[in-house]
Amino acid sequence: MEQSVSEQAGHHGLLSPAKIYEKSTAHGVCWTVVSPVVFTYRIVQCSNLLDAHNDTLLFGHTDHREDLLFGHTDHRGDPQSASKPVKRFIVIDEVVHALYGNRISEYMKARNVVYKMLPLPTTEENKSMELVTTILEEVHQFGIDRRSEPILAIGGGVCLDIVGLAASLYRRRTPYIRVPTTLLAYVDASVGAKNGVNFANCKNKLGSYIPPVATFLDRSFLATVPRRHIANGLAEMLKMALMKHKGLFELLEAEGQNLLDSKFQTREGTDETDQSPAASASSRIAIETMLEELAPNLWEDDLDRLVDFGHLVSPELEMEVLPALLHGEAVAVEMSLMVYVACGRGLLPAALRDRVVRCMRSLELPVWHPLCSLALARRALGERLRHSGGRLRMPLPTALGRAEIFNDISDDTLCQAFQEWSVDLGTGHLPT
C-alpha cells in the first residue's frame, strides 16, 4: 500500500510542500517524491536604467521578503550601509560594451559596487558551450554569492540566452538578470524561462528552463540599434499579432514605418510621460500576449504552442544560411510561407494572406529566401515531428489575431502552398 511519509521526514521551516510516498514492491521498497517547482520572476519596464539615482539595476529584483531572506538591511540606500558590499558580475555583448560600457562603469562606481564586466562576442555563430564555460571560469575567479548576487546579462537575445544557461549551471542555479538591448530581446527572449546554446549545428539544442529573477526593460537602448535589427524585432511582434491580437496587427500595419524611423523612442521635445503611443502600446501588447502564452506553460509540458508560429522551419533555415539571416528575418520567411499554407488549407482568404505579406514588407522583413527550399522545409518539419511525440503541431492563423494548432496538414497542401509562395514571392510579385 502506498503511503505518504512526508510528515515523518518534515521539519520546521520546510522549504517546499514536497510529498514523499513509500510503496512496498515484490523486490523491495520504492520511494516517490512529488515536488512542485515554483519560480517567481519580474519584468520591469522603466526608464533611465543607467542613471546612478535609479537603483533598479541593482535592487529591482528584490522585495522586502527577499531582503529579509538575504540579510540585506538597506537595499534602497547607500550600498555601503548594507551588511556587505554590493557585488555584481556583468556579462555584456561587446558591441553594446562599446556603446554603453563607460556609462555602466560610471553607474557602478557611483553606487560603490564591486563589479567585473566581461565583454563577449555574443553572436549566433558563437552561441556555444565554449562561451558558457568562458563565463563560468570568470565568474568562478570573481566569486559571487549564489543566492544574493545575481549575474547581469546586458545585450541581445544571444547574450541573454548564453548567460542564462551559464547561471543555471553555476552552483546548480545562480540568479541572473536580463537587460535586453535589442527589440527582439526586449519583446521575446527576455520574457520567458528558456535559455540555451547551439549544438551539433542545431539551434538551441542545449539549454534549460531557468527564468531570470528579473528582466529590466528600457527602450532607450533601442536608440542605438541598427534599423535592420528593429525590423528583426518587429517580426516577433508580428508573430504575436497574427496569433493573438488583431489590434496589434493593425497597429503594426499602420505605424510600422514610424516605429522603424523612431526606433521606439520618445518624441523629441517631450518628456518620458508623453511616450510615442504606437511604441508604448505595441511593445506592451507584444509582451503581454507573449506572457499569456508562456507563463501557464513555462516548461513546455504542453507542446501545442501558438508562439511556435514561424519557428518550425526557420531554425533550420537560420542555421543553414548563418549569418545571412537574423533570427526574426528567418521567422518572417517562414511566417510568409505559413500564411500561404493557411490559405491553401482554406483557413485564410487570399486577400488576407496578401495583406499580411504586404505588412511584412512594410516592416522591411524578408518574405522569401532562395535557400528556403521545399526539401529544407520538409526536412525541418520531419525533425519537428520526430521530436514532438508523433504529432506535427503546426500553429496557423485562422483570422487576424486568431489561430489554432493543426496536426493534419498534408504534404500535398504544403507542396501546393510552397509552389504558390515561390512563384508569387520568389519572383518579387505579389497578387493584388
Q: Active-site residues: which are they? A: 194
User: Under a CB-based contact definition with an 8 Å cutoff, are residues 207 and 197 in contact?
Assistant: yes
From the list 286, 291, 386, 396, the residue with the least C-alpha distance to 334 is: 396
Give me the amino acid identity at 71. G
Residue 397: asked if its preceding bond is cis (omega within 30°), the reply is no
CB atoms within 10 A of CB 391: 14
Helices (H), 50-194: 56-59, 64-70, 94-110, 129-142, 157-169, 183-184
Closest CA to 105 of 23, 55, 50: 50
**Total number of residues shown for the chain:** 432
- Of 362, 357, 325, 333, the closest CA to residue 429 belongs to 357
Q: Which residues pair with 119 in a beta bridge?
A: 92
Kind of pairing, strands 151-155 and 176-180?
Answer: parallel
For CA atoms 66, 69, 75, 76, the dihedral sign is positive
Q: How far apart are CA 131 and CA 122, in angstroms?
A: 8
Rounded CA separation 265/220 (Å): 7
Three-state secondary-structure class, residue 147:
coil
- Separation CA 249–CA 241 (nearest Å): 5
Per-residue exposure over 186-213, b if at least 16 CB sit within 10 Å of its own CB, e if not: bbbbbbbbbbbbbeeeebeebbebbbbb
